[in-house]
Every structure is written in C-alpha cells, then in structure tokens.
Amino acid sequence: MSDTILSIKDLSIQYVSREIGTCRAVNNVSLDIQKGENLGLVGETGAGKTTIALGILRLTPKPQGRVTSGTVEFWGEDLYKKSEAEMRKIRGEKISMIFQDPMTALNPIDPVGDQISEMIWLHEKITKKEAAAKAANMLEMVGIPAARYKEYPHQFSGGMKQRVVIAMALACSPELLIADEPTTALDVTIQAQVLDMMNGLKKELGTSLLLITHDLGVVAEMCDKVAIIYAGEIVEVGTTRHIFKDTRHPYTKGLFGSLPDMNSHSKRLKPIHGLMPDPANLPQGCKFAPRCEFCTERCTKQEQELTAVSPDGHLVRCWRAVEEEGGV
Amino acid sequence: MAPLLEVKNLQKYFKVPAGFLHAVDGVSFQIEEGQTLGVVGESGCGKSTLGRVVLHLLDNTGGQILYKGEDITKVDHHKLSQLRREMQIIFQDPFSSLNPRMTVYQTIAEPMQIMGGYRKEDLQNRVMALMDTVGLARRFVNTYPHELDGGRRQRIGIARALALNPRFIVCDEPVSALDVSIQAQVLNLMLDIQEQMGLTYIFITHDLSVVKYISNHIMVMYLGQMVEMAPSDELFARPLHPYTQALLSAVPVPDIDHKKERIILKGELTSPINPKPGCRFAARCQYATEECFKQEPELRQVGENHTVKCHKVQA
C-alpha cells in the first residue's frame, strides 16, 4: 500500500450566483499528502485556500457552491462517491478540521468540555461518562486544566479557545488534520505556544497536516512541502527548501519581497503591483500576467501547465521559469 | 531641538465593575519632528488606548501630553479643534472605520468641510490631489467603500487623515487587516508620504517585522506599561527585557535555515484590572525572583536612548 493519505486530482469548484455570475474559486488543483507529512497551502485572501479545504470534506456551501470536476481520494477511496452517512463518519474521525476563527467556531451556550465529549461520543462506541473522561484528558493534553471542563467559551481567552478547538479536532485521533489559519487570530507569543503544541501532538499521534496559511514564517517552521496558490490555481509546489531557497514563480518571489525582513536594513519593500483578479472574471492565459513584471504576449494568451523544474518534485506554472531557467 | 510631542507619566484607567482597568499606566516618551515611534505589544496591552489618549480622543486619568510644548489636556475646546488639524489618526480596520453610506469623495472631503474655508472648486481639486497622493485612481471618486478592496479602503483612510495637512499622525495597526502584497504597497506609501510632507508618526502594531521596517524608535508595551524603549536597530540587536526577548523569539522567520532558540512563555496575559504590586510580567517570566513579585521595577537607562523596566537587567 502506498503512503499517500490524501490525493486531490484536478479539483475545480465554482460558486454560482445570479448577481455575480460564475465565480471560479478553485481551478484544476491536484495535490498529494503522504502519511505524517505537513503540507502548507499558501496564498492571499480569496485565493481559494479555504474552498479547497471545504472541498476535501465535501462541505462546499450549497446550493451556490459546485464541484465541477475532480476527485478527492482518501487512502485511495473517492470521497465524492461516499454516501452522506459515510462522510459523517469520516469527518472528525478520520479527517478533522480546525477553523480559522476560534471566537466563532465554538458553541457559545455549551460548556467546552461537553462540546469535546459530544464529538467523541458520536464517533466512538463508548458511554457518555467515558467520553467525558476522554474529553477531560484532551483538555489537559492541550494545556487547559480539566477543572475548567464546565466553563463556557466566553470565559476563555482567544488562545485558549483555539486550544479547545484543537483538542476537539484531535479528540478522535484523526489521520489527517486540516488547519485553516489556526494561529492567524492569535498574538505571536500565543501563536508560538500553539504551534509548539501542535507539533508535539502531531509527533505523538502521527497525524498528517494540511496547513492553510498566508504566513510564510509559519510555513518555514511547520511544513515539509508547500503549495503556493494564486487565483484558485497552484502556481508553484515543492519541498519547503525548493520554495524558500530556489523560488521560481514571480508571484512567489513577490510574496517574499513583500515581507519586511527583521534581519536586514533595506529601506523599501518590493511589493507586487496591482490586485488579485476577480475570480468571476479571470484573465485569459496566465492569471498572474497582469501583475507580472516579466509578462510577455504569450503569457496573456496561453497558460503554462504545472511543469517540473527539478527531478524531485518542484513544479512551476510559468513559461519564463521553465524555459529560461531550465526545465527537466 | 524641542520634541514635537512629549508625553509624561501618562495614565488612563477605565472604571469597570471589578475596579479600575489600568489600560495605560505611567507611559513617558518624546518624539522629534519627522520621526516614527513604533509601539508594539500584544492585544490588550493598551497600545490603541495610548494612541487615542495621546490625541485626546479619550480623556487621560493622569499625566501630561505636551504638543509643541503645550499641554493639550488643559486647552479649551476651540484651541483643541485647531490642534486637531495637525493631529490625525488612521484606524486599524478599513472595513468598519469608513461610513458605508458616504462615497470616497464625501469621506475625504468631510474633514475640510467641517473645518471650513474651502470653496467648492478648491475642495474638489484638493480631494483629487489627495487621491493622487495615496494612489487611488480618480475613477473611484463616486464609489462607496463596499465596492473597494481592503487596500484601497485603507488608502481612503490615509487620504482622509492627510486632508488637513497634519504634522502628526497616529497609525493604529494600519496594515494588519491587509494581505502581505497589499501591506507592502501601503507601507511604502506611508513612508513616501512621510518623506514628502515631513510627518511624524506613532505607529501602533503587533507585527514586529513591520515595526522594525518603519520606525526610528520602538516602545514595547506590556499590560499598560512601557517595558523597554530603544532605537529600532538597538532593540532588535540587543533586546534586554525578558518579555521583549520572548516576543522577538516568537516571530516565525520565513527562512528555513534560520534556526533560533525559541522562548515559549508560560500562560497568558494577567488581568489589567486592579493589578497587583510588583512587576506585571513576573508571573510569566523565567528569571522572576521574590523581589519581582513584591516591588515594581523602575525604568532605568541602560545605554544610549535605551531604557528598560526590569530588576534583573544589569546596566
């Protein structure tokens, strides 16, 4: 059996509304995650990161969201062929998700301990009492005293709420954890605590991680592989070393140029000009062409496929990067 | 040269049912004209309150705010409205700080209409000039905020703050709601404007890489108090307060070969309501001794322009 836990092939998701028309949020995305691997999915607001995550769990909002092509295979089984009841067993037990905003991810009128134990009780054949004991253990594991089991979300700070959400996501020892900007709402010192804790728990439980973020610093610390997503497409994918040390795509380069560097003394940043295209009205050809300083006529007409630029899995979607800098 | 703004022992307490919340407690600093003071700290440390009290948008509980040598907490209403021309603010959230029922034109023109003295024609020219300055295309002049993205909205906020030719601007997390590529555009714009107009900034942020990029001096706040202040390069090269050290080590660096010792702080911020005597950071500090829990440390000078509030730091 291969070690590929999740394999997304050619996934496209559209949102359709009468006012805006068809919004192409995710376009032909293919990704693989191996067992125990940490994959970072990096992009800006509106790039389609969260839509991919929802697509994996078949939680694309209905009726406006439509999966128009592609398959999502979990251990080789197509999730889109499962019944709704089977999906419910997978969500939370095999694949679980940490949502972006801990302030709204919890039910405000249920004690946090009950919210965790409900989830365990639903997925495992145990009594409510045993589930409660397990929930208390989970709280301790994420560094919250079990004595706070009966407290409500508003009695916790942002960092602690995010720990509760993480405890809930890990309660059934899932094989794959999807974390959608898990630390974006937190302060840096709390972020350091949460990342540290997630790393520790991952090692203990052997979980694979799909980490969605816009923070390249977090990626550098957490991930083995990185996919850069722009306007619903993967523009560059490779190991963390490929992306950070051998950056090929002009957009990825632009992202690094936009970051103020704490260790240098440069006086001006090199931002990417312009804005991301409207997903309801994507340009023909390369989606990044209107903002790209190397754009040629061909870029505006025809789009490059994701092409390997090194033998060990570094793929780039850019004519110039492939031709001028050498492909394989 | 006398500093443009001098703040002495500023205090702001809020009355809450449980007692007093010490949002800003004994903060002192000076800013020279044309310089930028960065204020960093985590949520709830009082940085936004500080920005508002400095502009006298909130009344202070104690201390002095001297703008060009004049205590603005003591001036009358008329004089204050004159001072407001020179002192402006850019707010954090470009999604909630703009009136959704006003067009870009109305939003930028409003401060000038309130102050008066502009003919209609002058007003129009001025609004267009401001839009050019902040890089907003003129075709957006009659659009409403909801039609624009975050970066453009923040440019409206900046144009509005510049409308009355201020000399001093408090920037309260102006880029934290923006994506990195847009954030870089707005930061560059703010630096350009500062150079052209000789503006003085207080730049409030929680993002340490941004603050280093834009500031001359940096003040680190913790629970309403200033714990360390130094020139930017000095602070990053030689952080002395244990909190500053932890804060700097916690920032994820976008470089895979950069390995550093990370200091993970225990626990979270303690309550700023009726704080206990002693150092406010002591409960989370790895160096804390009995002295730290009993006696509050004084702010001490430990180098040129470098002050720190900690018992354990040797000069």
Question: Where do the DSSP E strands lie in B3-160?
Answer: 5-16, 19-31, 36-40, 62-67, 70-71, 87-90
Q: Point out the residue among B149, B252, B254 whose CB comes nearest to the CB of A256.
A: B254
Residue B58 pLDDT:
92
Residues in chain A: 328
Residues in B closer than 8 angstroms to A45, CB to CB, are 150, 179
pLDDT averaged over every residue in chain A: 88
In the predicted structure, residue A5 carries a pLDDT above the cut 80: yes
**What range does the domain containing B163 cover?**
5-309
Residue B246 pLDDT:
92
Residue A325 pLDDT:
61
pLDDT confidence band for A267 (50 / 70 / 90)? low
Assigned domain for B123 exists: yes
Assigned domain for B231 exists: yes
Cα Rg for chain B, rounded, in angstroms?
21
Q: How many CB atoms lie within 10 A of CB B176?
A: 14
Assigned domain for B63 exists: yes
What secondary structure letter does DSSP report for A313? Answer: T
Residue B168 pLDDT:
95
pLDDT confidence band for A327 (50 / 70 / 90)? very low
What pLDDT, in 10s, does the model give residues B222-248? Answer: 999 999 999 999 999 999 999 999 999
Poorest-pLDDT segment among A234-238, A273-277, A302-306: A273-277
In the predicted structure, residue A70 carries a pLDDT above the cut 60: yes
Assigned domain for B315 exists: no
Residue A266 pLDDT:
64
Residue B116 pLDDT:
85
Say yes or no for a CB contact (<8 Å) between A217 and B180. no
What pLDDT, in 10s, does the model give residues A156-210? Answer: 888 788 889 988 998 888 999 999 988 877 788 888 888 888 888 888 888 999 9
Residue B1 pLDDT:
66
pLDDT averaged over every residue in chain B: 90
Helix (H) / strand (E) containing A255: helix A250-257
**CA dist., res. A255 & res. B18, Å (int):** 46
To which residue do tokens 């969605």 refer? A212
Q: Average pLDDT, stretch B205-209?
A: 87
Q: Point out the residue among B188, B206, B254 whose CB comes nearest to the CB of A259.
A: B254
Q: Report the percent of chain B where pLDDT is more than 90.
A: 59
**Amino acid symbol at B64:** Q
By the CB < 8 Å criterion, does B236 face chain A?
Answer: yes
Residues in A closer than 8 angstroms to B212, CB to CB, are 260, 262
Note if the bond before B252 is cis, omega within 30 degrees.
Answer: no
Q: Average pLDDT, stretch A301-318?
A: 90
Residue B31 pLDDT:
95
What pLDDT, in 10s, does the model give residues B154-186? Answer: 999 999 999 999 999 999 988 887 888 888 888
Assigned domain for B314 exists: no
Q: How far is CA B168 from CA A210, A283, B35, B53, B68, in A?
A: 45, 42, 10, 14, 11
In the predicted structure, residue B64 carries a pLDDT above the cut 70: yes
ipTM: 0.79
Q: How far is CA B268 from CA A138, A152, B256, in A?
A: 20, 18, 28
In chain B, the number of structural domains is: 1
Q: Average pLDDT, stretch B6-23?
A: 92
In the predicted structure, residue A328 carries a pLDDT above the cut 50: no
In the predicted structure, residue B299 carries a pLDDT above the cut 80: yes
Residue A14 pLDDT:
93
Residue of A nearest to B136 (CA): A274
Q: Average pLDDT, stretch B119-130?
A: 93
Q: Are B5 and B66 in contact (CB under 8 A)?
A: yes
| B30: CATH | 3.40.50.300
Mark B228-265 as b/e (b = at least 16 C-beta within 10 Å): bbbbbebbbeebbbbbbebbbbbbbbbebeeeeeebeb
Q: B219 vs A102, which has greater pLDDT?
A: B219
Residue of A nearest to B215 (CA): A267
**CA dist., res. A271 & res. B181, Å (int):** 6
In the predicted structure, residue B265 carries a pLDDT above the cut 90: no
Return the residue in A19, A230, A269 with the most chain B beta carbons within 10 A, the one to mutate for interface testing: A269
Query: What distance in Å separates residue A247's CA from the closest CA in chain B?
Result: 12
Q: Are A96 and A172 in contact (CB under 8 A)?
A: yes
Q: Are A94 and A74 in contact (CB under 8 A)?
A: yes
Say yes or no for a CB contact (<8 Å) between A257 and B209. no
Q: How far is CA B165 from CA A8, A214, B55, B194, in A?
A: 55, 36, 16, 12
- Report which of A298, A312, A182, A299 is spatially closest to residue A235, judged by C-alpha positions: A299
pTM: 0.84
Q: Counting runs of H as helices and runs of E as strands, what totals does chain B give?
A: 10, 12
